[in-house]
């Protein structure tokens, strides 16, 4: 089977996010006050061959640990299917 | 004896020739080593140069860490061999887990290309032995992701072990504790964001880089002297 996996990678809470801060400063200028805690991350989409949903999740989580995210500064969330 | 320096060339490296010129001028024998090789020639010092290895895709250094030669660089370090990562090379060493922490985008989101002052906060290492404790060196930076971060407990440990070797006098990028350059616990792997290899000629604005690069070569030749 082939499964569609989506990985969302975000900077860990507490780690400053200069991109988020810049966006947060820009939004009120455009007429959107009251916006807080803007964080910028990235989404990685993969089509993965695996035996089951669980197998696909295990594989993708391993990819996250080894390459897709840097555990020092980033957290990740995997969704399958 | 002549120190042997191996400069690793990744696809996207762009400071490897600067490193070669600088180390050659200091009397070292320099060999360029392509990243795809699975062996390392006999060298005393491995240099990971600046640039954009593998296009810096995904994260700086994330893919370079898996280049075949990196296993040999790790072996070299485990045997006590010297390793120096400059700029992108520092980012690669952090991604590879050979140095602690990670490099984030600069605060202010600007690519920074300018001269900075660095303070030598530990001159008792192979990388800083030619410096006086507290000496200020003028060396250029040239990076977008130089904002070093590590968990507070890791930073504390580095402070206690005097592994924070170089600090910015005026922090340009938001780096935690003004960190510009660090070493590993064994003090044979060094990484820094500034470019000492570009500060080896008065004509180019400063030759303070010689203090750092020359220290590494002294370490190699002194060690050979002791070994007889």
Is pTM beyond 0.80? Reply is yes
Q: Which of B54, B60, B143, B149 to mutate to probe the A interface, most A CBs <10 Å? A: B149
A18/B109 touch (CB, cutoff 8 Å), yes or no: yes
- From first to last of the 228 residues of chain B, give the pLDDT tens digit: 899 999 999 999 999 999 999 999 999 999 999 999 999 999 999 999 999 999 999 999 999 999 999 999 999 999 999 999 999 999 999 999 999 999 999 998 999 999 999 999 999 999 999 999 999 999 999 999 999 999 999 999 999 999 999 999 999 999 999 999 999 999 999 999 999 999 999 999 999 999 999 999 999 998 877 654
3-state secondary structure chain B: CCCEEEEEECCCECCHHHHHHHHHHCCCEEEEEECCCCCCCCCCEEEECCECHHHHCCCCCCCHHHCCHHHHHHHHHHCCCEEEEECHHHHHHHHCCCCCCEEECCCCCCCEEEEEEEEECCCCCCCCCCCCCCCEEEEEEEECCCEEECCHHHHHHHHHCCCEEEEECCCCCCCHHHEEEEECCCCCEEEECCCHHHCCEHHHCECCHHHHHHHHHHHHHHHHHHHC
Catalytic residues of B: 87, 195, 197
Q: A22 in contact with B at a CB cutoff of 8 Å?
A: yes
**What is the interface size between A and B, counted as CB pairs within 8 Å?**
35
B149/A72 touch (CB, cutoff 8 Å), yes or no: yes
- What is the radius of gyration, based on Cα positions, of chain B? 16
Q: Which of B90, B102, B172, B179 to mutate to probe the A interface, most A CBs <10 Å? A: B102
pLDDT at residue B224, as a whole number: 77
Nearest by CB to A70, which of B95, B107, B151?
B95
Which pLDDT tens digit goes with each residue over A48-73?
Answer: 999 999 999 999 999 999 999 999 99
* Residue in A with minimal Cα distance to B101: A72
Domains and CATH numbers, chain A: 2-80 (3.30.1280.10)
- The domain segmentation of chain B, as residue ranges, is 4-102+109-227
* Residue in B with minimal Cα distance to A9: B58
* Residue in B with minimal Cα distance to A14: B151
Which residue, among B138, B126, B142, has the nearest Cα to B87 in the 3D structure?
B142
User: Which residues of B lie inside 8 Å of A (Cβ-Cβ)?
Assistant: 58-59, 62-63, 66, 94-95, 101-102, 104-109, 147, 149-151, 174
pLDDT at residue B227, as a whole number: 58
Which CATH number describes the domain made up of B4-102+109-227? 3.40.50.880
Closest CA of chain B from A19, distance in Å: 7
A18/B105 touch (CB, cutoff 8 Å), yes or no: yes
Q: A72 in contact with B at a CB cutoff of 8 Å?
A: yes
Closest CA of chain B from A71, distance in Å: 9
Sort out which chain B residues have CB atoms less than 8 A from A22's CB and list them: 109
Q: Nearest 5°: CA angle at B17, between B190 and B188?
A: 15
């Amino acid at each position: 089977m082939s499964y569609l996996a989506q990985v969302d990678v975000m900077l860990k809470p507490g780690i400053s996010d200069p991109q988020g801060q810049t966006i947060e400063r820009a939004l009120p200028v455009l007429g959107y006050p009251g916006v807080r805690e803007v964080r910028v991350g990235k989404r990685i989409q993969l089509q993965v061959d695996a035996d089951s949903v669980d197998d696909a999740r295990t594989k993708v989580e391993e990819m996250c640990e080894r390459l897709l995210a840097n555990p020092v500064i980033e957290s990740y969330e995997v969704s399958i299917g | 004896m002549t120190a042997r320096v191996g400069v690793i060339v990744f696809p996207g490296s762009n400071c490897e020739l600067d490193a070669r010129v600088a180390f050659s001028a200091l009397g070292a024998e320099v060999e360029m080593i392509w990243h795809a090789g699975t062996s390392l020639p006999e060298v005393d010092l491995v240099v990971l140069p600046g640039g954009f290895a593998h296009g810096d895709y995904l994260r700086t250094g994330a893919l370079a860490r898996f280049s075949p030669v990196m296993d040999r660089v790790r072996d070299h370090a485990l045997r006590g061999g010297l390793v120096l990562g400059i700029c992108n090379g520092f980012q690669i060493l952090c991604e590879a887990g050979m140095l602690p922490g990670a490099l984030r985008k600069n605060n202010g989101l600007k690519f920074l290309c300018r001269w900075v002052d660095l303070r030598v906060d530990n001159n008792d290492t192979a990388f800083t032995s030619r410096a006086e404790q507290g000496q200020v060196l003028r060396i250029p930076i040239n990076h977008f992701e130089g904002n070093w971060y590590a968990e507070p407990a890791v930073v504390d440990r580095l402070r206690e072990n005097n592994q924070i070797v170089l600090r910015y006098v005026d922090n340009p990028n938001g780096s935690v504790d003004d960190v510009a350059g660090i070493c590993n616990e064994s003090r044979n792997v060094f990484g820094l964001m500034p470019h000492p290899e570009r500060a080896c000629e008065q004509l180019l604005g400063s030759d303070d880089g010689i203090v750092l690069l020359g220290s590494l070569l002294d370490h190699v030749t002194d060690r050979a002297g002791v070994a007889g």
